[in-house]
Amino acid sequence: MTEHSASAPGTSTTGTMAVKRGMAEQLKGGVIMDVVTPEQARIAEDAGAVAVMALERVPADIRAQGGIARMSDPDMVQDIIDAVSIPVMAKARIGHFVEAQVLQSLGVDYIDESEVLTPADEAHHIAKSGFTVPFVCGATDLGEALRRIAEGAAMIRSKGEAGTGNVVEAVRHVRAIRAGIRRLGTLDETELFVAAKELRAPHALVAEVARLGKLPVVLFTAGGIATPADAAMMMQLGAEGVFVGSGIFKSGDPAQRAAAIVEATTFSDDPDVIAKVSRGLGEPMVGIDVATLPDSQRYATRGW
């Protein structure tokens, strides 16, 4: 595994930080949709999704059905890879590095080390730098985001509270990450050492974020986005793109809702467009009030 760049003509290097982070840069301003069948993947592609997340059950069904949620069946992931030409992502359990090895071997384009699946390790996340395939990880605040980046995550998303259709936690997490970044910008060199200690993150990364005024990787939002207005609000709050899980295929008219969320993400600053695409979408997913969820059913608390 080399993280440095190719140096001479005739040599090329895969799996570098530049191609991993650069891949996420290409997804910016776009919508990544959860799909459970090749047919859904094609609907997502037709609607303008920049990528699909292949999984066996959407988070709303994982909540409803309970049990241990694991990596999807390789056959199912392969069928979705074969069905579309856009990038295909898949989820591995937190800390389950062998699920990640399997997904890399299947040729998925991005792995989501996801709290939506049942964690396989209650102390450690996957050491992600050693993989050729890039990883996206969830975060609830800046410290968590930076710990994941230190482990090799090439993209960060808010955790939100998946499968609820309730955007409140995604708002909390994106606001917390962005506020944390802004705060670092006000600190002097000495104070950044203490900030690193408080954030439980490497000082070099903390100093880099303070200098850049942003994360060194792309920041998406996920967890509870169900409407075009939800997506546009998250973009206005500073997310660079949107994951939609249960919100599309648990709604009344998935194809139309998917297209509307894509359009609202591109024109997130234009209320006229958002109003237009929000008309006549049919029933959104029913949704759950996050405040009624017992702690044991909150996915956002998974991850360390």
Partner 1 sequence: MSREPVVGVLALQGDVREHLATLTELGAEAVTVRRPEELAEVDALVVPGGESTTMARLATRFGLLGPLRDAVAGGLPVYGSCAGMIMLADRLLDAPADQVTVGGLDVTVRRNAFGRQVDSFESQVEIDGVAGGPVHAVFIRAPWVEQAGEGVQVLGRVVGGPADGRIVAVRQGNLLATSFHPELTGDRRVHALFVEIVRRHLAEQAGVDAGNERGTS
Give the catalytic positions in this structure.
91
Position 86 contacts partner 1 (CB under 8 A)? yes
121 marked ligand binding residue = no
Give the C-alpha separation, 122 to 171, whole Å.
26
3-class DSSP state for residue 158?
A: strand
Nearest residue (CB) to partner 1, 141 versus 208: 208
| 38 vs 76: CA distance, rounded Å | 8
User: Binder to partner 1 among 38, 87, 119, 165 (CB under 8 A)?
Assistant: 87
To the question of whether residue 270 is assigned a binding role by annotation, the answer is: no
Nearer to partner 1, 134 or 160 (CB): 134
Give the three-state DSSP class for 58. coil
Would you say 221 and 169 are in contact if contact means Cβ atoms under 8 Å apart? Answer: no
For residues 72 and 122, give the distance between their C-alpha atoms in angstroms, rounded to a whole number.
Answer: 21
Shortest Å distance, C-beta 50 to partner 1:
4
Give the one residue of 65, 66, 67, 85 binding partner 1; rule: CB under 8 A.
Answer: 85
Position 89: which residue type? M
Nearest CA among 133, 136, 75, 134 for reference residue 104? 133
Interacting residue with partner 1 among 34, 99, 113, 263 (CB under 8 A): 263
Q: Is 129 annotated as a binding residue?
A: no
Is 30 one of the binding residues for partner 1 (CB under 8 A)? Answer: yes
Least Cα distance to 160 among 265, 48, 26, 287 occurs for 287
Asked if 107 and 79 count as a contact pair (C-beta separation under 8 A), the reply is no
Contact status: 104 vs partner 1 (CB under 8 A): yes
Range 222-251, binding partner 1 (CB under 8 A): none
Q: How many residues does the chain have?
A: 304
Residue 175 assigned as binding residue: yes
Region of 106-114, 159-167, 197-205, 282-290 interacting with partner 1 (CB under 8 A) = 106-114
The answer to the question of residue 51 lying near partner 1 (CB under 8 A) is yes
Query: Could you say whether residue 133 binds partner 1 (CB under 8 A)?
Result: yes
Residue of 220, 235, 92, 88 whose CA lies nearest to 145: 220
Which neighbouring-strand residues pair with 135? 111
Verify binding: residue 191, partner 1, rule CB under 8 A.
Answer: no
Q: Applying CB under 8 A, does 18 fall inside the site for partner 1?
A: yes
Q: How many CA atoms lie within 13 A of 152 on its CB side?
A: 23
- Under the binding rule (CB under 8 A), the answer on residue 98 touching partner 1 is no
Q: Does 22 bind partner 1 (CB under 8 A)?
A: yes
φ, ψ at 250 (rounded to 5°): -100, 10
Closest to 166 (Cα-Cα) out of 289, 283, 32, 294: 289
6 binds partner 1 (CB under 8 A): yes
Q: Is 245 annotated as a binding residue?
A: yes
Q: Is 37 in the site for partner 1 (CB under 8 A)?
A: no
| Residue 224 is assigned to a ligand binding site | yes
Q: How far is CA 293 from each of CA 63, 108, 302, rounded to the nearest angstrom?
A: 11, 33, 14
Contact between 132 and partner 1 per CB under 8 A:
yes
272 binds partner 1 (CB under 8 A): no
Q: How many chain residues bind partner 1 (CB under 8 A)?
A: 45
3-state secondary structure of 116: coil
Interacting residue ranges for partner 1, rule: CB under 8 A:
5-16, 18-19, 22-23, 25-30, 45-51, 85-87, 104, 107-110, 132-134, 259, 262-263, 266-267
| Annotated binding-site ranges for D-glyceraldehyde 3-phosphate | 175
Binding-site residue positions: 34, 163, 175, 224, 245-246
